[in-house]
Homo-oligomer: A and B are copies of this chain.
Amino acid sequence: MSDVPAALYEGKAKIVYPGEDADTLVLFFKDDTSAFDGEKREQLARKGEINNAFNAYIQTYLQEHGVPTHFLRRLDARRSLVRRLDMIPVESVLRNRAAGSLCRRLGVEEGRLLEPPVLEFFLKNDALHDPMINRSHIRTFGYAHAEEVERMEYWTLRVNALLRERFAQVGLILVDFKLEFGRFAGEIFLGDEFSPDGCRLWDVQSQEKMDKDRFRRGLGGVVEAYIEVARRLGIATDA
Binary contact track A113-141/B, C-beta < 8 Å → 1, others 0: 01111111101010110011111110111
Q: Is A106 engaged at the interface, CB distance under 8 Å to the other chain?
A: yes
**A136-B119 in contact (CB<8A):** yes
What are the residues of chain B within 8 A of A136 when measuring CB–CB?
116, 118-120
Complex CA distance for A133 and B119, rounded to whole angstroms: 11
Note all chain B residues with C-beta closer than 8 A to A116: 136, 139-140
On chain B, the residues within 8 Å of A135 by CB distance are 134
CB of B118 within 8 A of CB of A137, answer: yes
Which partner residue on chain B sits nearest A102 by CB separation? B137
| Neighbour of A106 across the interface among B105, B121, B131, CB < 8 A | B131
Min distance, Cβ A62 to any Cβ of chain B, angstroms: 22
**Bound complex: CA A132 to CA B120 (Å):** 11
Instruction: Please report the C-alpha to C-alpha distance between residue A17 and residue B134 in the assembled complex, in whole angstroms.
Output: 36
- Whether A107 is near chain B, meaning CB under 8 Å from some CB there, is yes
Residues A134 and B131 in contact, CB atoms below 8 Å apart: no
Cross-chain contact A140 with B114 (CB below 8 angstroms): yes
Interface residues of A in 81-132 (CB under 8 A from B): 105-108, 114-121, 123, 125, 127-128, 131-132
User: What residues of chain B lie closer than 8 Å to A140, measured between beta carbons?
Assistant: 114-118
Q: Which residues of B contact A134 (CB under 8 A)?
A: 119-121, 132, 134-135
The docked-state distance in angstroms from the alpha carbon of A128 to that of B104 is: 8
Cα separation A24 to B17 with both chains bound (whole Å) = 67
- Chain B positions within 8 Å of A119 at CB level: 134, 136
Residues on B with beta carbons closer than 8 Å to the beta carbon of A118: 136-137, 140
Chain A, 191-224, CB within 8 A of any chain B CB: none
8 Å CB contact of A128 from B106, B133, B141: B106
Q: Interface centre among A105, A117, A118, A136, by most B CB within 10 Å?
A: A136
A152 CB to nearest B CB, Å = 13
